Amino acid sequence: MGNVVYPKHLGIIMDGNGRWAKEKGLNRSLGHKAGADNLIKLLDYIYKNTSIKVVSLYAFSTENFKRDKNEVDYLMKLFVTLFNSKLESIKKNNVKVVFSGRRENLPKNVLEAMDKTMEDTKYNTRGILNICLNYGGDYEIVDMTKKIAKQVLEGNLKIEDITKEVVSKNLYQDLPPLDFVIRTSGEKRISNFMIYQSSYAEYDFPDTYFPDFDSKCLEESLDNYRKRDRRFGNVK
Ligand code: IPE
Ligand code: IPE
Ligand code: MG
């Protein structure tokens, strides 16, 4: 951990669960289960062995509601078990869990499990786990705009006082910018993931499907990150 450079904010687009299952002749749901089991191990590794402070996970996009009802129902059930019991190790690692996304359309038991997880972890200080669920980067910008417009209309904010800080405070979560985003499974797109926060992020697109993306794969991605020359518009 010592002098090794880590991103402060890491994003993971956990993709490839369905293809992982298909290649094994299994139902897509079993791919999601394997992905969730892998996630627990990966997060435990991150919070124990690296100095990464914030992890944002893409768990379910607003667009994922287009999928077959069976798959959506399975995922919602998986989230409930994940938040109610499997995230215990996260709590032990002193990590604060927050959520990004729209609450509408999420089943009541998922919302309750989310609320309990936030409540149980709100004083934790080691790091933040931001779970993007029913999340769309475009909707986040729409929702931020509405919140700011309301403050202006109600006389609590002047238009000339709208700054980047104000924008950031009115997003779902006020987090530092993403330094590094990993999308597993070989797809090279960001599919509506944190489009505002990733303005200067570095990307890595490993071919591995998420259920197989273990700590060794993560270390390989982090090595790629360390080789990048982040200039932020400057010259070196
Ligand atoms: C990512 O895996 C998990 C979610 C989107 C919820 P996919 O389900 O997208 O897996 P592929 O892309 O079909 O392999
Ligand atoms: C993005 O993956 C959403 C999550 C990983 C939760 P998708 O599999 O839904 O994205 P597309 O459809 O391939 O762009
Ligand atoms: Mg996919």
User: What does the pLDDT look like over 131-143, one tens digit per residue?
Assistant: 999 999 999 999 9
**Which residues have CB atoms below 5 A from the ion given as ligand 3?**
15
Is residue 182 within 8 Å of residue 12, measured between CB atoms?
yes
* Listed residue (99, 10, 91) closest to 50, CA to CA: 10
17 lines ligand 1 (CB under 6 A): yes
- Residue 3's pLDDT band, with cuts at 50, 70 and 90, is low
Show which residues are catalytic.
15, 64
H/E segment holding residue 164: helix 164-169
Instruction: Identify the pLDDT of residue 86.
Output: 74
Q: Which of 12, 13, 14, 15 to mutate to test the pocket of ligand 2 (most atoms within 8 A of CB)?
A: 15
Using one digit for the tens of pLDDT, what is the confidence trace for 163-187? 999 999 999 999 999 999 999 999 9
Going from the Cα of 52 to the center of ligand 2, the distance in angstroms, rounded, reads: 24
Three-state SS for 33-78 is: HHHHHHHHHHHHHHHHHCCCCEEEEEEEEHHHHHCCHHHHHHHHHH
Whole-number average pLDDT of the chain: 96
Percent of the chain exceeding pLDDT 90 equals 94
User: Per the confidence metrics, is the pTM higher than 0.75?
Assistant: yes
22-39 burial, b at 16+ Cβ within 10 Å, e below that, comes to eeeeeebbbbbbbbbebb
Bridge partners of residue 82, in order along the sequence: none
202 lines ligand 1 (CB under 6 A): no
Is residue 226 within 8 Å of residue 5, measured between CB atoms?
yes
61 lines ligand 2 (CB under 6 A): yes
H/E segment holding residue 130: strand 127-135
* Listed residue (234, 62, 28) closest to 134, CA to CA: 62
Is residue 87 within 8 Å of residue 120, measured between CB atoms?
no
- Residue 1's pLDDT band, with cuts at 50, 70 and 90, is low
Instruction: Identify the pLDDT of residue 201.
Output: 98
Per-domain boundaries in the chain: 9-136+177-224
Ligand of minimum distance to the alpha carbon of 36: 1
Percent of the chain exceeding pLDDT 70 equals 99
* Listed residue (66, 63, 71, 70) closest to 17, CA to CA: 71
Domain 9-136+177-224, CATH homologous superfamily name and number: Decaprenyl diphosphate synthase-like (3.40.1180.10)
Instruction: Identify the pLDDT of residue 47.
Output: 95
Q: Whose CA is nearest to atom 13 of ligand 1?
A: 18
- Segment 1-25 shows an average pLDDT of 92
Using one digit for the tens of pLDDT, what is the confidence trace for 184-216? 999 999 999 999 999 999 999 999 999 999 999
Ligand of minimum distance to the alpha carbon of 35: 1
- Segment 111-124 shows an average pLDDT of 96
The DSSP bridge pattern shows strands 9-13 and 180-183 to be parallel
| Statement: residue 48 has pLDDT above 80 | yes
For tokens 């475009």, the residue is 138
Using one digit for the tens of pLDDT, what is the confidence trace for 71-92? 999 999 999 999 998 778 888 8
